[in-house]
């Protein structure tokens, strides 16, 4: 019979043995005593263009252009979330649907790629310019809408609009023309943000085509 002084020690030893047996049983049964890591539900999206076979063209034909800048309204510039317009004065940020790159960088890439495929464009460069870059017309673009929204019938739609101006590269920067572009409203499946990114890509490509059609000649 253990003495009273040794009884607490014996109880502690028994408790340790029971705990080790429980841990061993959990391991052998495939159970984990640690909580599972939460899965991040965030999805990331990019704008893109449709790959086409480059046209064979005269390297001296067309206009050499430079994309000077793409400005975004603050509500688009200061977030990586996709934006859904819920009304004239209300927008919603999708916390788990985000752009994988800054939106202005994605738009610049799409516009450059699309303009490069236009028959009236000889070359496209972007700022900051390199020493070997040449251009005749600069293009400054301000995006006024690039988001999801709700159509008149309540369906989810892509909203895209922009203003742009042509500036003579030489001299004092004469403005050669200023235009406003509103893309056709394109439907997409609600909560299908990959499809929304695709529709906004199509709208950005359509903006590039509009710019190419209005591009001043040399």
**Tens digit of each residue's pLDDT (9 = 90 or more) over 183-211:** 999 999 999 999 999 999 999 999 999 99
Report the pLDDT value the prediction gives residue 131, as an integer from 0 to 100: 79
Average pLDDT in the chain: 87
CA distance 42 to 99: 10
CA distance 102 to 142: 15
Q: What b-and-e string marks burial along 47-62, b requiring 16 or more CB atoms within 10 Å of the CB?
A: bbbeeeeeeeeeeeeb
Do 167 and 183 contact (CB within 8 A), yes or no?
Answer: no
Segments of 88-202 assigned E as strands: 90-99, 121-126, 137-150, 156-168, 175-182, 186-187
pLDDT digits (tens, 9 = 90+) for 113-159: 999 999 899 999 999 888 778 899 999 999 999 999 999 899 999 99
- Which distant-in-sequence residues (6+ apart) come within 8 Å of 98 by Cβ? 42, 43, 44, 45, 80, 81, 82
Average the pLDDT over each of 1-10, 42-51, 158-167 and give the range with the smallest value. Answer: 1-10
- Token pair of 56 as six digits: 């064979």
- Token pair of 28 as six digits: 């052998």
Task: Give residue limits of the domains in the chain.
Answer: 1-37, 43-214
DSSP three-state, residue 42: coil
**Does residue 190 or residue 51 have the better pLDDT?**
190
- Token pair of 176 as six digits: 């050669």
Q: What is the largest CA-CA distance in the chain?
A: 108
Domain 43-214 superfamily per CATH: ABC-type transport auxiliary lipoprotein component (3.40.50.10610)
- Token pair of 87 as six digits: 């009304």
Cα separation values, 148 from 7, 165, 168, 175, 189, Å: 72, 25, 34, 32, 11
Residue 3 has pLDDT above 60, yes or no: no
Its sign, for the CA torsion 175, 176, 178, 181, is negative
- The rounded Cα 94 to chain-centroid distance in angstroms is 12
Q: What is the mean pLDDT of residues 26-50?
A: 76
Identify the band that residue 67 occupies on the pLDDT scale cut at 50, 70 and 90: very high
Say if pTM beats, i.e. exceeds, 0.75: yes
Length of the chain measured in residues: 218
């Amino acid at each position: 019979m253990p003495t009273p002084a040794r009884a607490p020690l014996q109880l502690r030893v028994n408790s340790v043995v029971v705990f080790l047996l429980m841990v061993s049983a959990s391991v052998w049964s495939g159970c984990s005593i640690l909580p599972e890591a939460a899965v991040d539900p965030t999805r990331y999206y990019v704008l893109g263009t449709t790959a086409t076979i480059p046209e064979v063209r005269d390297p001296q034909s067309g206009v050499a252009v430079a994309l000077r800048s793409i400005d975004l309204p603050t509500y688009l510039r200061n977030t990586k979330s996709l934006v859904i317009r819920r009304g004239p004065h209300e927008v919603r940020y999708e916390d788990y649907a985000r752009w994988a790159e800054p939106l202005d960088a994605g738009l610049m890439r799409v516009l450059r790629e699309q303009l490069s495929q236009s028959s009236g464009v000889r070359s496209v460069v972007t700022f900051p310019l390199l020493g070997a870059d040449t251009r005749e017309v600069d293009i400054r673009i301000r995006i006024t809408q690039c988001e999801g929204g709700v159509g008149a019938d309540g369906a989810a739609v892509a909203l895209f609009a922009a203003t742009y101006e042509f500036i003579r590269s030489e001299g004092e920067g004469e403005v050669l023309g200023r235009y406003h572009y509103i893309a056709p409203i394109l439907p997409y499946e609600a909560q299908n943000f990959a499809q929304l990114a695709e529709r906004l890509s199509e709208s950005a490509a359509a903006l590039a085509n509009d710019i190419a059609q209005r591009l001043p000649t040399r």
